[in-house]
A = this chain, B = another copy of it.
Amino acid sequence: MKLLEDRMQKDGKALPPDIIKVDSFLNHQLDVALIDELGKEIYNRFSDCKVTKILTVEASGIAIACSAARLFGVPVVFAKKGERKNIAGDNYTADSYSFTHGTSYTMFASKKYITADDTVLVVDDFLADGNATLALKKIIDDAGAQLAGCAIAVEKGFQSGGKKLRDMGIRVLSLAIVDSMEGGVFTFREQND
Contact = CB atoms under 8 A, between A and B. Distances in A.
Q: How many copies does the complex hold?
A: 2
A24 B30 CA distance: 25
A70 interface: yes
Interface of A is mostly: mixed
Nearest to A55: B29
A128 interface: no
B62 A113 contact: no
A73 B34 CA distance: 11
Interface residues on A, range: 20 to 34
A23 B62 contact: no
Interface of A: 23-25, 28-33, 35-36, 58-59, 62-63, 65-67, 69-70, 73, 75-78, 80, 109-110, 112-113
